[in-house]
Amino acid sequence: MIRLEGVSKYYPTRFGPKYVLKDLNITLPDDRDVAILGENGAGKSTLLRLLGGIDFPSFGKIHSDRFISWPLALSSGFQKKMSGRENVRFVCRIHGISKTDEIEEYVKDFCGLGDSFELPVGSYSSGMGAKYGFAVSMGFDFDTYLMDEITAVGDSAFRKKCKQALKDKRKTANIILVSHDETMIREQCNAAILLAYGRAEFYESVDRALYRYRNL
Domain count, the chain: 1
Question: CB–CB of 165/112 below 8 Å?
Answer: no
Tens digit of each residue's pLDDT (9 = 90 or more) over 156-207 = 888 888 888 888 998 999 999 998 889 989 988 999 999 998 789 999 999 9
Buried b (16+ CB within 10 A) or exposed e, 104-128: bebbbebbbbeebbebbbeebeeeb
The CATH number assigned to the domain holding 170 equals: 3.40.50.300
Domain that holds residue 149: 2-214
Per-residue pLDDT at 175: 94
Confidence of residue 75 (pLDDT cuts 50, 70, 90): low
- CA 124: distance to chain centroid? 21
